[in-house]
Amino acid sequence: MDKYIVVMGVAGCGKSSLGAALAQAEGLPLVEGDDFHSPANRAKMSQGIALTDADRDGWLDILGQQLQAHPGGMVLTCSALKRRYRDRLRQARPGLRFVFLDIDRDDAQARVVARSATHFFSTSLVDSQFATLESPVGEPGVWRADARLPLAQLQGEASAWLNKEAFA
Structural domain of 73: 3-167
Give 29-54 pLDDT, tens digit per residue: 999 998 998 888 888 877 778 788 89
pLDDT at site 46: 76
Task: Label residue 162 by pLDDT band (50, 70, 90).
Answer: very high
Give 120-147 pLDDT, tens digit per residue: 555 667 888 888 999 999 999 999 999 9
pLDDT at site 122: 58
pTM value surpassing 0.85: yes
Say yes or no to pLDDT of 95 above 60. Answer: yes
**What is the SS3 string spanning the chain?**
CCEEEEEECCCCCCHHHHHHHHHHHHCCCEEEHHHHCCHHHHHHHHCCCCCCHHHHHHHHHHHHHHHHCCCCEEEEECCCCCHHHHHHHHHHCCCCEEEEEECCHHHHHHHHHHCCCCCCCCHHHHHHHHHHCCCCCCCCCEEEEECCCCHHHHHHHHHHHHCCHHHC
Task: Label residue 113 by pLDDT band (50, 70, 90).
Answer: confident
pLDDT at site 166: 47
Q: What is the CATH number of the domain that holds 146?
A: 3.40.50.300
Percent of the chain with pLDDT over 70: 90
For the chain, how many structural domains are there in total? 1
